[in-house]
Amino acid sequence: MDRRAGLDRRQFMTGAAALTGAMLAVPSALAALPKAKITRIRFYRTPTDAAGRPNVRQPTFNQSTHIVQIETDAGLTGVGEGGAPDVMEQLAGQLIGEDPFRTERLWQIMHRGYFYPAGREKTHALGALDIALWDIKAKALGVPLYQLLGGRSRDHVECYATGFSIPNQPKASHGERARACMEAGFHSYRIHDPGQDITFDRFAQVPRMAAICREVREGCGRDGGWAIDFHGEYDQNDAIALADMIAPLRPYFVEDLVRSDNLQTYALIRSQVKVPIAVGEVLGNKWDWTALIEKDLIDYGRVTIPNVGGVTEFMKIAAMCEAHNIGLIPHFTGPIATATLVHCVAATSTPALMEMSGGGRRVWPYLNNSYDFRNGRLEINDRPGIGCDVDFAKLELLGDYAERYAPIKTLQRKDGSYTNW
């Protein structure tokens, strides 16, 4: 036998044994979550809202980009985004003293913890806390969040632009902006047109928007995508008429054709239009989504965080969408929520397109790290947790909760799972 070959084989076997040992050590290391209890929750107002305006009150949405921080006795902390002081106070008290790693159990505690079911505003705060809990768990294991959700299923997340503008050209046409949007690397341009007068003239607005759609279709070019948000402004008949007029232009999606107060309206709309339908930025947890998904009334779910109740609930709704061949087009809310969405979408296999407000050119003065946006797409970062680094010195403290408050005894089944109060 050649002595050199023998050494090579011995070296190979030694190296292989070391590699095997290292691989076997990883699962045990990842499984070693520390013992921890939630000790304190702080709630902060951000200096700007999702659009970069002074955030005294959110001027458009009855939701917020406020930040919550959960602290534990193990020295681990996590951050989330959303909620308002009154509902945050109720939810935070229920978490004090609990194990932060039991995310599903804590979601149920918060959702079931009062006599009346959580409405969408409370679900928004619940979602902020749920994000922070997942941030803690991933940080404890030293991995990015997507690893806990199934690992990467895609290399990056494509984006479309809402309100895309050309620097120093405030009067650029929709067609010019659409063309610039494609050149900036975006997958699609969404028409964002708040320009009509407060008096909504249905007879003028429908042909006006149809003309803008034709202009945008041309501006995007042969390979560019485009979409339009009806903003729920149209009556049902006018929404159907406009959808029919623009169907030959092949929009990527048409969003919120009517208000979402009565979701059964989409059964009629679905039967009469030929455009892909996207709905859901105003919806909450899975029970809001059941009829739309199970009756195949939509093509894309605007499932977003924290609106639906955080990571725990997002992944359940995403699984429902996958089973019905429905894609995901999450709504842009704030930077921490968007960073979290990237991890969630990265771990799904459904068609996905995420919203980016403007051209993505934004600096958040209170964040050292948030989402990673480049050339019209969101990159999937490998920082532990959700990858956000908050400068709390630049935030205003709204609430500080360290006392447990759980007024209703929640009943448990014999196996320890929750049922009802």
Torsion angle of C-alpha atoms 88, 91, 94, 98, degrees rounded to 10: -80
Per-residue pLDDT, averaged over 143-159, amounts to 97
Structural domain contains residue 263: yes
Does the structure show a pLDDT above 90 at 283?
yes
Structural domain contains residue 284: yes
Does the structure show a pLDDT above 70 at 352?
yes
- Regarding whether 185 and 69 lie in a shared domain, the answer is no
E strand or H helix at 253, and its extent? strand 253-255
Does the structure show a pLDDT above 70 at 421?
no
177 falls in which pLDDT band (50, 70, 90)? very high
- Regarding whether 163 and 89 lie in a shared domain, the answer is no
Q: Calculate the average pLDDT of the chain.
A: 88
**The predicted structure's pLDDT at residue 6:** 43
- Regarding whether 125 and 236 lie in a shared domain, the answer is no
Torsion over CA: 23, 24, 29, 30 (sign): positive
Question: Would you say 78 and 134 are in contact if contact means Cβ atoms under 8 Å apart?
Answer: yes
Structural domain contains residue 21: no
Ranges 193-207, 236-250, 252-266: which has the least confidence = 193-207
- Regarding whether 204 and 97 lie in a shared domain, the answer is no
Structural domain contains residue 22: no
Q: CA nearest 359: which of 230, 231, 178, 217?
A: 178
**Where does residue 166 fall: left (phi above 0), alpha (psi -120 to 50 degrees), or beta otherwise?**
beta
- Regarding whether 173 and 74 lie in a shared domain, the answer is no
- Regarding whether 378 and 325 lie in a shared domain, the answer is yes
How many structural domains compose the chain?
A: 2
381 versus 28: the higher-pLDDT residue is 381
Inter-CA distances, 128 with 8, 80, 132, 295, 364, Å: 55, 5, 7, 29, 18
Question: Would you say 83 and 45 are in contact if contact means Cβ atoms under 8 Å apart?
Answer: no
Structural domain contains residue 86: yes
Torsion over CA: 347, 228, 61, 87 (sign): negative
- Regarding whether 229 and 199 lie in a shared domain, the answer is yes
257 falls in which pLDDT band (50, 70, 90)? very high
DSSP3 helix / strand / coil % (the chain, rounded to 5): 40, 15, 45
Return the residue matching tokens 């107060």: 261
- Regarding whether 214 and 128 lie in a shared domain, the answer is no
Count of alpha carbons within 13 Å of 194, Cβ hemisphere only? 3
Q: CA nearest 75: which of 103, 105, 31, 37?
A: 37
Whichever domain contains 88, its CATH number is: 3.30.390.10
Whichever domain contains 225, its CATH number is: 3.20.20.120
How many Cβ atoms from other residues are within 10 Å of residue 6's Cβ? 10
* DSSP code per residue over 310-375: SHHHHHHHHHHHHHTT-EE-PPP--HHHHHHHHHHHHT--S-B-EEEETTS----TTEEE--EEET
- Regarding whether 111 and 238 lie in a shared domain, the answer is no
15 falls in which pLDDT band (50, 70, 90)? very low
**The predicted structure's pLDDT at residue 332:** 87
CA 393 to CA 379: how far, in whole Å?
28
Angle at which helices 85-95 and 103-112 cross, to 10°: 130
Per residue in 356-380, pLDDT tens? 988 887 788 899 999 999 999 999 9
112 versus 74: the higher-pLDDT residue is 74
- Regarding whether 196 and 51 lie in a shared domain, the answer is no
Amino acid present at 419: T
The count of residues in the chain is 421
Structural domain contains residue 415: no
**The predicted structure's pLDDT at residue 197:** 65
What share of the chain has pLDDT > 90, as a percent? 74
- Regarding whether 330 and 307 lie in a shared domain, the answer is yes
SS3 state at 232: coil
SS3 state at 166: coil
Domain that holds residue 50: 38-142+393-401
Structural domain contains residue 24: no
- Regarding whether 300 and 204 lie in a shared domain, the answer is yes
Structural domain contains residue 16: no
Does the structure show a pLDDT above 60 at 276?
yes
299 versus 260: the higher-pLDDT residue is 299
What share of the chain has pLDDT > 70, as a percent? 88
Per residue in 369-408, pLDDT tens? 999 999 999 999 999 999 999 999 999 999 999 999 988 8
